[in-house]
Amino acid sequence: MGSLGGARPDGSLDSEDWYFFPVEIGQIIDLTLSMPQNAHFSLSLYPPYSHSSVGTVEAEGNMRFLQYVAGEVVIGTHK
């Protein structure tokens, strides 16, 4: 769990967060992003050391869903 858009020590707003976690090859990664109404965030899943995201994000109202079968990945959220 995390909070996107919080204030940094210098007073500027945080517009992205990154989460790292290990998974086993073949494990299903199921992500859900819930946002406030009228907010717009993207959700991305990256293999380690890659600039190309994997998986397909589905949108339903203020929710974003992504499911992928992989190894270790990095999650990026952007406002």
pLDDT in tens, 12-47: 777 778 888 888 888 899 999 998 888 888 889 888
State in Å, rounded, how far the first CA of the chain is from the last one. 16
pLDDT, mean of residues 41-55? 85
pTM for the model stands at 0.67
Rg over alpha carbons for the chain, rounded to the nearest Å, is 13
- In the predicted model, is pLDDT for residue 6 greater than 90? no
Q: What angle do CA 63, 64, 67 make, to 5 degrees?
A: 135
CA angle 12, 20, 62 (to 5 degrees): 65
